[in-house]
Amino acid sequence: MYDVIILGSGPAGLTAALYTARAGKKTLIIGGDKLGGQTAGIAVLENYPGWKGTGMELTHFMKDQATSFGTEFAFASAKSVVGDGEHGFTISADDGKEYKSKVVIIATGASPRKLTIEGARELFGKGVSYCATCDGFFYNDRSVLVIGGGNSALNDALYLADLAKSVKIVYRGSAFTRAEQVLIDRVKSKNNVECIFNTELKSILQNPETQELIAKTMDNKELVCDGVFVAIGHEANTDFLSEDIKRDDMGRLAPADLPPGMFVAGDVHSNIKMQIATAVGTGCEAAIEAIGYINTRL
C-alpha cells in the first residue's frame, strides 16, 4: 500500500509528489498516458518564474526531482476511486491494475472544451484540431482559423502565425477582454493575423475535392481555410470520480466538498487561475495537507 497516490503528472501532481516523497511518504503518481499534462505542449514558457524553456523541459526537470526522492510512476489513467480516509483508497486504472493508498491527491487537470457545431466532431483530426503545438506543423504556409478569445486562443494564434500563411481568430465577443494585454499586443503586431469579432460558427464542412474547410458563420458567411484550431476553454478531468462527489459546472472540485483523505490540486481545483504557478502552489498545499492527515489521523 502506498501512503499517497497522486492522480496526474502535470506540474500540480509533480509538485505534490516532490513534497510527499521528500517527507518520507511512499508515493505513486498515476500519470495518465502522457507525462506533463497541458504543460508538456507549451512551446515557449515565459511566465513561470525562474524558468525559460519549453513546457516539456520543465516537466522532465520536475519529474526527475520527484523521482530523486523515491516517487514511483505508473502511466495509466484512473477509472475509479473507491474507499475512504480511514481504511484507504483503491484506484482502478486502465492498465488493468488496482493501486491502494492511504490518501489520494486529485491533480488530473483539464482538457480542451470540445466544439459541438455540425462537422466539428467528424473533422477532428482531419482539419479540426485542439492542439496548435501538436498539429501546427501540418499548416506550414497555409491558412487557418483559431476559434476562441482567451489566452489559449491568442497563444495558439501566435504560435501558428510563425508557420501558417494566414491566421484568422474568430471570436464571439466584441473585444479580447479575457486575454492578457501582452498577448493582445503581440497578436496586433502580426501582419498575418486577422481578428474577426462578434462571430460564431454554425458548421464546418470539407470540400471533398480540394480538402479545404468551409466554416460557416451564424450569419451565413463562409470562411475558407485549411485548418481550424479550437481554443474555447477547458473542462476538468473528473469523470472517473463517483457521482456523489460534488463538482462545479466545469467539473472542478472544491477541497471542502471532498471526503477525508482526498485532496485536490491544479486545474481541477475549483478556485484556481489556470497557471503553472498556481498548479505548483496548490500541489504543494495539497501535499502538506496530505502529509498532515497521515501523520495525525492514521
Residue 198 touching ligand NAP (CB under 6 A): no
Determine whether 195 is an active site residue.
no
For the chain, what is the radius of gyration of the CA atoms? 21
C-alpha 167/C-alpha 141 separation (Å) is 10
What is the crossing angle of helices 276-297 and 11-22, to 10°?
Answer: 30
Q: How many CB atoms lie within 10 A of CB 113?
A: 15
Whether residue 131 lies in the annotated active site: yes
- Tell me whether residue 134 is one of the annotated catalytic residues: yes
39-68 positions binding ligand NAP, by CB under 6 A: 47
Best CA proximity match to 238, nearest among 254, 228, 255, 251:
251
By CB under 6 A, residue 169 contacts ligand NAP:
no
- Is 42 exposed, middle or buried, given 0-12, 13-18 or 19+ CB atoms closer than 10 A? buried
- Contact range with ligand NAP by CB under 6 A, out of 29-37, 54-62, 228-236, 250-258: 228-236
Nearest Cα residue to 104 out of 2, 12, 15: 2
Binding segment for ligand NAP (CB under 6 A), chosen from 7-15, 24-32, 227-235, 249-257, is 227-235
Amino acid at 210: T
Binding to ligand NAP by residue 148, rule CB under 6 A? yes
Q: How far is the CB of 90 from ligand NAP (least distance, A)?
A: 32
Tell me the closest approach of the beta carbon of residue 41 to ligand NAP, in angstroms.
Answer: 11
Q: Is 278 in the site for ligand NAP (CB under 6 A)?
A: no
Indicate the residue whose CB is closest to ligand NAP.
Answer: 150
The nearest distance, CB 93 to ligand NAP, in angstroms, is 27
| Closest-CA residue to 278 (of 110, 26, 31, 74) | 110
Total binding residues toward ligand NAP, as defined by CB under 6 A: 20
> How many residues in the chain?
298
Contact between 11 and ligand NAP (CB under 6 A)?
no
The footprint of ligand NAP (CB under 6 A) covers 47, 147-153, 155, 172-173, 178, 200, 231-234, 273-275
